[in-house]
Amino acid sequence: MPPTLPPFSNSVRLKYVKLGYQYLVNHILTLTLIPIMLGVFIEVVRLGPEEIVNLWNSLHFDLVQILCSSFLIIFVATVYFMSKPRSIYLVDYACYKPPVTCRVPFATFMEHSRLILSNNPKSVEFQMRILERSGLGEETCLPPAIHYIPPTPTMEAARGEAEIVIFSAMDALFNKTGLKPKDIDILIVNCSLFSPTPSLSAMVINKYKLRSNIKSFNLSGMGCSAGLISIDLARDLLQVHPNSNAVVVSTEIITPNYYKGNERAMLLPNCLFRMGGAAILLSNRRSERRRAKYRLVHVVRTHKGADDKAYRCVFEEEDKEGKVGISLSKDLMAIAGEALKSNITTIGPLVLPASEQLLFLLTLIGRKIFNPKWKPYIPDFKQAFEHFCIHAGGRAVIDELQKNLQLSSEHVEASRMTLHRFGNTSSSSLWYEMSYIEAKGRMKKGDRIWQIAFGSGFKCNSAVWKCNKTIKTPTDGPWADCIERYPVHIPEVVKL
């Protein structure tokens, strides 16, 4: 007997029922007003010319009433426009692309690990297993100081890495936007683990001879989500400083944070973190509206630091031998999931269409009143966003969010390919992902982008952007010489 076909009719009917429900709920106001307006229009047409003239004459307008009404309308309009938040535009951004001399293939990484940890083969084997399942590729990069055997994480080397990453990203931003250093009103630099004196923001001011009245900020210790915290800070500052430009620099300096001990929880960052950085130009100037790529819509921040487990799940400390490293807890994914739930609860009502919010509300009421065992409804965020930029913190992070948000492989493609090509570049990874989507020619006018980042503390932060114009495929940027090779198949395990 030939195999029977699956009952497609049922799924097709269900699909059209769902589409009809979504259209009905999302356009309920329009569908209600049209019949009312049509009825009024028909009644007016039925009236004769004399009846219309009599109706008009029956309306008596007093001069004082007209003046008071006009004044009230002008007053309300003035208050509305004065209290309306300023639009924040992302004019452009630039990502740092490390030179090929910093490339760390798997063979090189493992050879160095065997030489550095020659007294502890179990730690070497552990790193190999992590690397095999990490989702990283052969072209990720580490700073020059880590290439030495043993590594030389000196202050001079760390400053050297900071200079090459930050200055390269800033120079690229100046070239792309035509921005002059004197035009920068606000400067925000975030780097979690390297906080020298003078600060990194002072280093940028000294290099480019920025104005003496510039408002500069240096954020440290805030983890991989610090990039969106910087965006939020820039937004708040641009709300109170009209006609201003803000530059945000997001990076993580690897040199001083390479762990040389044997604690497994502290060896994980060695396998995942790589060089990277990005510089972003934000502006509230109306003149920048036409050429700006994106408009900032929402920023939602969630902090779980009140919980002890969440506070310590990413923790910098000394091991038994006194060597400093970043310890990653086994509860990290569970804590990240709880932080994501809290963040989604806040951002959902701001971005989801009415149809999804209604379904979520009905399910919540049903669980509270009728049956607590009802499966909770997971909103379909694919109706709210066209693109997703999930922090490329590791393969497990991307897998978990894809599963929980019910995303397709294409929705998480930018995150997986960024992890494969550049590794975990901390707070700047979101901008490599945005650049990937642009390089693929997928960013169209009106598209909505959801950036999601996680960081120590523990934090989950979200930013929502709306594309101002269809973006042409760039000829430069970090993906320029390799975008044709992507996407690539990433096996579950790469045997080393």
Would you give the DSSP letter of residue 317?
Answer: E
**What is the spatial distance between Cα 419 and Cα 429, in angstroms, rounded to a whole number?**
8
298 given a catalytic annotation:
no
Would you give the DSSP letter of residue 459?
Answer: E
391 given a catalytic annotation:
yes
For the CA atoms of 146, 188, 312, 432, the dihedral, rounded to the nearest 10 degrees, stands at -60
440: phi then psi, degrees, rounded to nearest 5:
-80, -5
27 given a catalytic annotation:
no
Using CB atoms within 10 A of its CB, is residue 162 exposed (0-12), middle (13-18) or buried (19+)?
A: buried
**What is the spatial distance between Cα 134 and Cα 422, in angstroms, rounded to a whole number?**
12
**What is the spatial distance between Cα 5 and Cα 24, in angstroms, rounded to a whole number?**
32
Coil, helix or strand at residue 219: strand
Question: What is the Cβ-side half-sphere exposure of residue 281, based on CA atoms within 13 angstroms?
Answer: 27
Q: Helical H runs in 148-254?
A: 155-177, 200-208, 226-240
95 given a catalytic annotation:
no
CB 160 within 8 A of CB 272: no
**What is the spatial distance between Cα 276 and Cα 427, in angstroms, rounded to a whole number?**
9
387 given a catalytic annotation:
yes
Query: In angstroms, how far is the first alpha carbon of the chain from the final one?
Result: 47
33: phi then psi, degrees, rounded to nearest 5:
-75, -35
201: phi then psi, degrees, rounded to nearest 5:
-65, -35
The one catalytic residue among 270, 424, 461, 468: 424
489 given a catalytic annotation:
no
The one catalytic residue among 190, 313, 391, 460: 391
Using CB atoms within 10 A of its CB, is residue 72 exposed (0-12), middle (13-18) or buried (19+)?
A: exposed
The one catalytic residue among 218, 262, 389, 420: 420
**What is the spatial distance between Cα 376 and Cα 345, in angstroms, rounded to a whole number?**
13
**What is the spatial distance between Cα 328 and Cα 347, in angstroms, rounded to a whole number?**
27
Cis link prior to 198 (omega < 30° from 0)?
Answer: yes
The one catalytic residue among 270, 343, 387, 461: 387
| β 215-219/186-190 pair status | parallel
CB 165 within 8 A of CB 95: no
Catalytic residues: 224, 303, 387, 391, 420, 424
